[in-house]
Amino acid sequence: MAADAARLAELEERLGHVFTDKSLLEQALTHVSHSGAGTKAMSYQRLEFLGDRVLGLCVADLLYARHPEAPEGQLSRALADLVRKETCAAVAESIGVGACLRMGKGERKSGLARKPAVLGDACEALLGAVYLDAGLPTVDTVVRRHWLERLPDMTTAGVDPKTALQEWAHTRGLPEPRYAEVDRTGPDHAPVFRVAALVEGLEPCEGQGRSKRIAERAAAEAMLAREGVAGGMP
């Protein structure tokens, strides 16, 4: 039990919030398969619902404040990218959520605690728990701590690189670009992905990042740059 308490304390430190109500933290880390969950209401599912909305509000506010000249469409694309499960899973991996999840022995043995969908859900649940424990200003601080560095450079990129590459390929009658994972390095809580962008008839281009989504965008940017597509626009 002492080891569990130490692990949770380390998670709180990486998250950036020490819970007053520890039961909220425990619930946010409890998968529905855990024997102590009892009912779905005791798992992280309800907190996940709340955290998803809180995250959307905090990220929208952050984007709105930091990019006063960006049009609504660009803000919406950035928001969708920043709150998607893959991004939440990358944040969860960076703070070691997987090792703290409470779930059934069979589910843990199967590797469920490392699945992006589960990590993304748990990340949202943690944000919902922070909101209930300390309010919106505190959860906003937590979101800024982990999402600020993930904001796109909207001063130079008018279109998401993957969207730009897809539109560029379409105008040339080429099939939709595909992406393939080439390599994964680093520990489970802080992986680095290397991904190749594949367009029929062209040499692949590679990119890397802390999530597959970021690596795919980097690979798309590399291909656009190589093909001389100025500013990421088709």
Catalytic annotation on 121? Answer: no
Q: Tell me if 59 sits within 8 A of 40, measured CB to CB.
A: no
Alpha-carbon gap, residue 211 to 117, rounded angstroms:
13
* Catalytic-role residue among 48, 124, 133, 216: 124
Contact of 20 with 131, CB cutoff 8 Å: no
Burial profile 119-150: b = 16 or more Cβ within 10 angstroms, e = fewer: bbbbbbbbbbbbbbbbeeeebbebbbebbeeb
**From 52, 133, 160, 216, the catalytic residue:** 52
- Catalytic, 124? Answer yes
Tokens representing 201?
């008839």
Which of the residues are catalytic? 52, 124
